Amino acid sequence: MTNIREVLALNLKKHRQVRGWSQAKLAEKVGTSTHYIGMLETRAKFPSSEMIQKLSFALGIDPTELFYKEINPQITMKKSQKAAFEDVGEAINQFITGYITEKVQKLGEEICKNTEQRSERKQAARKKMD
């Protein structure tokens, strides 16, 4: 799940650094303290709607760009790999369960057959004795 503070912090820092600005320079352009910018970038504070407007204006971006979550290919790949491993694991589990069920069933049939054969031999032996 996306953490809005984290997305804002990452985007604010990214847009500031792309311009080559320090936290102090952004703070000056926005009319706030360097400490406050640092707090935003470390997710310790969340700006008001007015401050979001000031930040985006100073950075020359649309306010929504501060909340856009970029798709990280590495994270996407890891999630895809995890899903694939889960699918493979489930398929293996189903295969093994089916295989074992089949073998147990055959073994049960053989045991019944052997039991019947023994019973028949015992009956035949008794008839011979009688």
In the Cβ-directed half-sphere of 12, how many Cα atoms lie within 13 Å? 28
| Structure-block tokens of residue 71 | 């798709």
pTM above 0.85, yes or no: no
How many CB atoms within 10 Å of residue 79?
11
pLDDT, tens digit, for every residue of 46-65?
Answer: 999 999 999 999 998 899 98
pLDDT, tens digit, for every residue of 21-31?
Answer: 999 999 999 99
In whole numbers, what is the pLDDT of the chain averaged over residues?
86
Domains for the chain: give ranges and CATH numbers.
Answer: 4-67 (1.10.260.40)
Mean pLDDT of 101-109: 90
Tokens 């015992």 — which residue? 122
- In order, the DSSP letters of 55-69 are HHHHHTS-GGGGG--
